[in-house]
Amino acid sequence: MSGSGTSRRRPGAGRELVIRAARDLFARQGYDGTSLRDIAERAGVNESVIYRSVGTKEQIFNAAVLEPYHGFIGSFVARWHSATERPSNSEMVGTFVRQLYDLLSENRELITSLVAASTLTGSPGQTPARAQLNAELDVLAAETAADAEGRGMDGVDFNLAVRCAVGMVMSLVLLDDWLLPAGDRRPSREALLDEAHQLILGGLERNRRG
């Protein structure tokens, strides 16, 4: 595809086309079921454009699926550092639960693909998907532990607590149809997230009372 339409494409447009096409295909077909040729055809570009703009299939997967998650953790920690006033425990947990739930809901099919591709090993020099996610959780756990002084969270293992909290929210998104009743009995988003909020908050503050 070397016609005039391609030559007039603005810088970065090829990468955006590839990422959008890959997100759609990974969600529909999974990692193993999607080839670079599939992505190229969906994006309307040559495979050479894929290699130049993004790279290998694993690198495309990372950009399409892992970057939104990485961006959330990074922005959450940045807001934590830039806040002029220290949020209360309840505000901190409530913000985290709601923003994580919304992010995962917006990318539900992609996160499902990520879980299905959890055995992805990658090429030399590439970090496996599971290791990348664990690294993000390590960062969040470290930030939470550093901020915990004076919050009544003594004795909490933040490496485990953060993973339990993320696991709870992730389960509510990915196993929505299995866990939640349908029809009139289905809880509202606010009721669901408020319950998760209170459970996580109570666990973190379990040693505050008594």
Cα→Cα distances 35→26, 40, 56, 58, 107, Å: 10, 9, 10, 11, 21
Q: Which range has highest mean pLDDT (7-21, 112-126, 192-206)?
A: 192-206
User: pTM of the entire structure?
Assistant: 0.75
Match 């807001």 to its residue by tokens.
79
- Residue 148 · residue 81 · CB < 8 Å: no
Give the tens place of pLDDT for each residue, 132-158. 778 888 988 998 898 888 888 989 999
Give the tens place of pLDDT for each residue, 76-122. 778 777 878 888 999 999 998 998 899 888 878 777 766 766 555 55
Q: Cα dihedral sign for 154, 155, 157, 162?
A: negative
Walk me through the domains of the chain, giving residue ranges and CATH numbers: 1-55 (1.10.10.60), 57-204 (1.10.357.10)
Q: Among 49-63, 94-108, 122-136, which is the least confidently predicted range? A: 122-136
- Minimal CA–CA distance to 75: which of 142, 164, 140, 130? 140
Residue 126, pLDDT above cutoff 50 = no
- Any idea what the Cα angle at residue 60 is, between residues 56 and 66, rounded to 5°? 135
Q: Among 49-63, 170-184, 191-205, which is the least confidently predicted range? A: 49-63
Classify residue 99 by its DSSP letter.
Answer: H
Q: What is the pLDDT of residue 188?
A: 95
Average pLDDT for the chain: 83
Give the tens place of pLDDT for each residue, 148-197. 888 889 899 999 999 999 999 999 999 999 999 999 999 999 999 999 99
Q: What is the pLDDT of residue 127?
A: 55
